Amino acid sequence: MGHCLMAARRPHHVEGVISRFDPRFWTVNFPRPMMASVTTVAPDALRVDAVFYRRDDLAGLIWEAEDRHDHPLLAYETVRDFRDCRLSFRWRSQGLRRLDETHGPVLTIEGRDATGAARVWHVRLWNYAVGTPEDAVVSIDFASVIGGFALPADADPVWAGDVDRMFVSLVAPGYDESDAILDAPAEGWAELSGIRCEGPGSVIGIGDAVLPEHGLRIAGGYDDSYHLTPARLLRNVLHLGYRGAIVHYVGMSHYFRLNGGLMVTGALNAPCAAWHRSFAEEAAALGYDLIWSLSYELFDAHCPQGWKQRAADGSPALTGWVPPSTLLSPANAQAMAYLQAVARAFVAIGVAAGLAPKFQVGEPWWWVMGDGRPCIYDAAAVAAFDPVAVPSVHGALSAAQRDTLDAAGAVLAASTAALCAAVRADHPACETLLLAFLPTVLDARAPEAKRMNLPIGWASPAFDVLQLEDYDWVTAGDSASTRDGVALAEARLGYPVERQDYFSGFVLRAEDGAAHWPLIAATAEVARARGVRGVHVWALPQVLRDGFLYWDGEDAVEAFDDVLFPLELGAEAEVMPEFSTAVVTSAGGRESRNASWAGARTRYDVGPGVRSEADVAALLAFFRARMGPARGFRLRDPFDAEGADEVIGTGDGVTRRFPLVKHYGGAERRITRPVAGSVRVTLDGVATQGFALEPAGTVVLDAAPATGVVVSASFDFDVPVRFAEDRLSVARATFLAGAAASVPLVEVLEA
């Protein structure tokens, strides 16, 4: 496989053009708790649907000069000068302030004036409209457009030569500047059709590269994508090479209906339903399947109090997001009925678009507080299984406490079964999937927590497919926990590998991308090699933000053949450690030295090891097989091939992975090619067999050593090297005369 991160499109990348104001690339924004969505309804038309709850709710339909939402390879170019283009469209609306009213639709332009000073202009659309207040043609020439409400009295000429963004404001008929609740939720819509941009600046460039189809699938989330058009999202998915089923996580917010008290009262609000109808139709047209994903997580501010999981002291289960979400109690009949209604609504949207029904129960669990307190004491849970006191799930538990966790797990399993049954009541052939987040349900600090959060009631064939996710382990480089967690889940639930999917990712913060994406790509490859049904990258918003690219095929810079150089080296071989040091000598004779490398790289000349014509033949065959310097291999250094009692780390109670190193005084050398079977590990000097050896010379202990425990290792090792040159010269006459050939090799630094 190959992968990279791309911060920006390069000049040699494929570029196309789009009309400025292309309907696919508008976005929406608005304050909580209102909701709005933008969809493309024709190649030259878009529609905004909105629901308003407060009097000051305002939605903005936005065009940005800079594309901050697409993958850098696919983004449109930044052009801030709008003076050489003219925009026109037909406006139709209903349930909104009309074009001719105060607080009616206004085009707000944000940028800088001709002097570079920040400015905002407000262009009343009614001043540029022909027609009725709810059905008119609007035409704007950005070279001469004038802001202000009443013209010419309020005239404010716009200088559109340096614009950041512009947006059309949409408000409900009952709008005022207070934050009071409307008498009833208000739904409205606006449609811009026949969108045309004319003039010399009407066309802008856009990235148009298409990556070949590869072996990974994609997952995404509505909470991170609700403001974009479905057509825009799916364009990225298609061009980046992802195929197969898309996992679409509905999220914890933005999708539900609210009542006058701003509490969840129903399944899907109108903007959410409109967005997902468009999403399903676009996906079907492109040949994608959709797996609708729904979790037990809900935005806390709008969750009915009785639905929440609670700790023994009554504290609600709250996640670490800001603002927080909460977890619905699997024992609460009303909460579970709500989830069932949501699941049925989403799957029905997909079926109506011609998609096969597929539904995933996403990360259902009983929440555990940071200090280990389980949230299994809400009123419905207490009535269902009368839990005994479990102050913390960390550490050992009594028989009664374990029984309580088993009972909680049985309730959780029954709730997921009922959720899937509700969907299958509408669509009997629906494929059901379960997503389990292993770092939480198999937390090493809470060995019994799996009783409630990976219950036996989920064992095959409860679901058609088991999906496993482990990004906390992956981004920490803890592949050992991934391996052990997958094995435990398989043994406990019994799903064969061909009925498993794997989720690889995600990267929460952009600044961590360079460190985490290589781990994600590598773990995805391990899962593919394991034979799972599919591997999903989690998640699309982070792929687009960080510019992650993936392709099938071997990454040439990693080419290495795990074979030993075929000739035995004697003391005649030349070994030459080297550094790269810049030395600057001043006029007075003082030196300034800068070491470019943290450690030495070794060069070898193994020509003296060639002692016979058979050796020559073996050397030439080996050189050809490696394609000269193209592929690395192992070399046994005749002078430095073992480490004894090398300290490779100190325990902290959490870390299990310790890379092999050898020390040379204060210098340290990473050992990536230990000899199989030679590694011996001690903890505070006591030998242990409780470890495994990963590729690249990393020791993985079965259990994390306690804080302060010194981890040491003894080992034999080879040096990864390659041929230093593209040609190899061995003359038979010279060899028979007793002269040694020159066969230069150079160390390959792998870590």
- Provide the pLDDT for residue 594: 57
As a whole number, the mean pLDDT across the chain is: 93
pLDDT band at 750 (very low <50, low <70, confident <90, very high): confident
Q: Round to whole Å and give the CA distance between 67 and 78.
A: 7
Mean pLDDT, rounded, for 279-283: 98
Phi, psi of 322, rounded to the nearest 5 degrees: -125, 115
pLDDT band at 455 (very low <50, low <70, confident <90, very high): very high
The neighbouring-strand residues paired with 634 are 564, 720
Mean pLDDT, rounded, for 643-650: 96
pLDDT band at 555 (very low <50, low <70, confident <90, very high): very low
Number of Cβ within a 10 Å radius of residue 167: 21
Check if the beta carbon of residue 360 is closer than 8 Å to that of residue 293. yes
**Whole-Å CA distances, 159 to 81, 162, 198, 215:** 9, 8, 18, 49
The SS3 assignment for 136 reads: strand
pLDDT band at 278 (very low <50, low <70, confident <90, very high): very high
- Provide the pLDDT for residue 598: 52
Higher local confidence (pLDDT), 613 or 374: 374
- Provide the pLDDT for residue 478: 83
Q: Round to whole Å and give the CA distance between 442 and 446.
A: 7
- Provide the pLDDT for residue 751: 67
Q: Is the pLDDT of residue 558 over 70?
A: no
Q: Look up the pTM and report it.
A: 0.82
Mean pLDDT, rounded, for 121-130: 98
**Helices 513-530 and 479-493 sit at what angle, rounded to 10 degrees?**
40
pLDDT band at 477 (very low <50, low <70, confident <90, very high): confident
Q: Round to whole Å and give the CA distance between 667 and 98.
A: 74
**What is the full DSSP assignment across 156-175?**
EE--TTSEEEEEEEEE-TT-
Question: DSSP character for 556?
Answer: G
Check if the beta carbon of residue 746 is closer than 8 Å to that of residue 603. yes
- Provide the pLDDT for residue 659: 93
Mean pLDDT, rounded, for 704-725: 95
Check if the beta carbon of residue 445 is closer than 8 Å to that of residue 704. no
Q: Which amino acid is at 13?
A: H
218's tokens: 């994609």
261: Cβ contacts below 8 Å, ≥ 6 apart:
none
- Provide the pLDDT for residue 557: 43
The Cα angle at residue 276 between residues 270 and 282, in degrees rounded to 5: 140
pLDDT band at 672 (very low <50, low <70, confident <90, very high): very high
Q: Round to whole Å and give the CA distance between 648 and 662.
A: 8
Q: Round to whole Å and give the CA distance between 361 and 297.
A: 11
pLDDT band at 738 (very low <50, low <70, confident <90, very high): very low
Domain parsing of the chain, residue ranges: 7-207, 217-551, 560-637+723-747, 642-717
435's tokens: 């997503």
pLDDT digits (tens, 9 = 90+) for 130-151: 999 999 999 999 999 999 999 9
pLDDT band at 193 (very low <50, low <70, confident <90, very high): very high
pLDDT digits (tens, 9 = 90+) for 210-240: 999 999 999 999 999 999 999 999 999 999 9
Higher local confidence (pLDDT), 320 or 19: 19
Mean pLDDT, rounded, for 684-700: 91
For domain 7-207, which CATH number applies: 1.10.150, 1.25.40, 2.160.10, 2.60.120?
Answer: 2.60.120
Q: Is the pLDDT of residue 596 over 60?
A: no
**Helices 230-239 and 270-286 sit at what angle, rounded to 10 degrees?**
30
Q: Round to whole Å and give the CA distance between 172 and 95.
A: 7
**What is the full DSSP assignment across 187-228?**
EEEEEEEEEEEESTTSEEEEE---PPP-S-EEEEEGGGTTTS
Number of Cβ within a 10 Å radius of residue 68: 11
Q: How many Cα atoms sit within 13 Å of 171 on the Cβ side?
A: 22
pLDDT band at 576 (very low <50, low <70, confident <90, very high): confident
Q: Which amino acid is at 420?
A: C
Alpha carbon 497 to its chain centroid, in Å, reads 23
Mean pLDDT, rounded, for 32-46: 97
pLDDT band at 59 (very low <50, low <70, confident <90, very high): very high
- 48's enclosing H/E stretch is strand 45-54
Q: Round to whole Å and give the CA distance between 722 and 720.
A: 7
412: Cβ contacts below 8 Å, ≥ 6 apart:
330, 364, 365, 366, 452, 453, 455, 457
Mean pLDDT, rounded, for 505-524: 93
Q: Is the pLDDT of residue 556 over 50?
A: no
Domain 217-551, classified CATH 3.65.10.10, yes or no = no
Check if the beta carbon of residue 5 is closer than 8 Å to that of residue 548. yes
